[in-house]
Structure 1
Amino acid sequence: MDWYDTIFELIDMRSFSNLWFWIALAVVWSTASHWVLGVPYDMVARARRHGGQAAEDLEDLIRINTNRLLYIGAVSGLWLLGIACFLMTGLILLGFVYGVEFAQAVFLLGFPMSIVGALNLSTARLIRDEDATGEALWRRLTRHRTIVQAIGMVSIFITALWGMYQNLAVGPFAG
């Protein structure tokens, strides 16, 4: 047995039985629910609690990030959408037609995050159109975070079910 076989025996390269995949899944969703439109959610809570300078800082950061997201969407949105659709289609084909487990894992991470990306763009557009400030802005950001958390819970549940299926039915111990 050479060093290559030893490393791959020590580190399971199958995605759904690998602890690192599950750690990455948890980190991705905790980060996605903590950062609302590029602003940490604790700033929203602080602005709501204290007002004043904290509220002004939050509104400035949201304005900057909203304008940035909408600019990127306007300038290169179609290209980004096309590339994302191409990548998701490739991952679906590789993962679920050809049975590549790594592609399945990346799809189960990437597809829900693409939904969150579209939600970010939609929320940014709503904030700009409403010219939301103060309580209206805080409610919009809280609603956005709640929806992201719901998407995350559904995504983690589906990923866990698919991962258990892969480990029990398709894994090395099956049959």
Structure 2
Amino acid sequence: MDLYSSIFELIDMRSFSNLWFWIALAVLWSTASHWVLGVPFDMVLRARRNGGQAEQDLEDLVRINTNRLLFISTVSGLWMLALGCFILTALLLTGFVYGLEIAQALFLLGFPMSLVGLLSLSTARLIRDEDATGEHLRRRLSRHRLYVQMIGVVSIFVTALWGMYQNLSIGVLGG
């Protein structure tokens, strides 16, 4: 038995039975719900509690990140949308039509995150159009975080169901 066979027996390289995939999934959604439009959510809570300079810092950081996100979407949004749709379609087809498990895993990570990206763009436009500040801004960011968490819960549930199905079907069929 050579070194590569030993390593592949020791570490299962299939996505849904690999511990690292599930750790990456947890870190992805934890990070996505903590950073709201590029602003750590603890800044929102600190601004709510303390006001003053914390509130000003929050408004400045949201303004900077909102303007940056909207500028990027204006300049290269169509190209990014086309590339994202191409990649997600390729992952969908190679994963679920041709049965490549790594493509399934990447699609189940990427598709919900693309929804979060679109939600972030929508929230950034609303904040800019409403010129949201103070309590209205904090409410808007909290609502955005809630929606991201809802997408995350559904995503983790669907990924867990699909992963269990894959692991059981491979275990029953023997590979």
CA distance in 2, matches of 1:107, 1:144: 23
SS at match of 1:12: coil
Report deviation, 1:174.
2.8
SS at match of 2:72: helix
Instruction: Tell me if 1:130 matches 2:134.
Output: no
**Moved runs in structure 1, 4+ residues, more than 4 A?**
none
Where in structure 2 are the equivalents of 1:1-175 lying within 5 Å? 1-169=1-169, 171-174=170-173
In the alignment of these two chains, the number of paired residues is 174
Where do 5+ consecutive residues of structure 1 fail to align? none
CA distance in 2, matches of 1:90, 1:121: 24
CA distance in 1, matches of 2:3, 2:18: 20
Q: Percent identity over the alignment?
A: 76
Which amino acid is 1:174 matched to? L
Where do 5+ consecutive residues of structure 2 fail to align? none
Report deviation, 1:172.
4.0
SS at match of 2:85: helix
| TM-score, structure 2 normalization | 0.98
CA distance in 2, matches of 1:127, 1:93: 36
| TM-score, structure 1 normalization | 0.98
Q: CA RMSD in A?
A: 0.7
CA distance in 2, matches of 1:46, 1:8: 48
Report deviation, 1:173.
4.1
SS at match of 1:9: helix
SS at match of 1:57: helix
